[in-house]
Amino acid sequence: MRIAVGCDQNAYDLKMIIINHLNKIGIDFTDFGCHKGENVLYPDVAHTVAKEIADGKYDRGILLCGTGIGMAITANKVPGIRAATCHDVFSAERARKSNDAQIITMGAQIIGSELAKMLIDAWLASEFQGGRSKPKVDLINEIDAVYHQK
């Protein structure tokens, strides 16, 4: 599994903690910034990561900002992407199991580093279950296609 990771300056410290955690658990990832001392606009980072996933270059993504909300809103503008803001373990699991979310977003000003690592672990360990959720995700994809036809 290949993971794309990105943040804005508000979440740089949390991103570094998560990167260290990914290294520790043996997950292959690429850091798309921001980098130390760099000020960025979170939509630029979210768009880059979401596009990489939509293009099939990465399997999943982790996006971090102050709340996680702006990253999710931006990532969800990319056709085919389902990004979910999660601040508890149950939501992180359900984002994958029920919604097939390829991207998890979190807020560095909302949660601490230990909880963030727990969310990453739960999200990475979860897979889409299909079942009753499959028709819902299929419908999300149909709606997405209506508004993103090229």
Residues with catalytic roles: 65
> The tokens of 84 are what?
């979910």
Query: Residues near 31 by Cβ (< 8 Å), separated by ≥ 6?
Result: 5, 6, 15, 19
* Strand 83-85 with 28-31, pairing: unpaired
Place of tokens 């991207």: 103
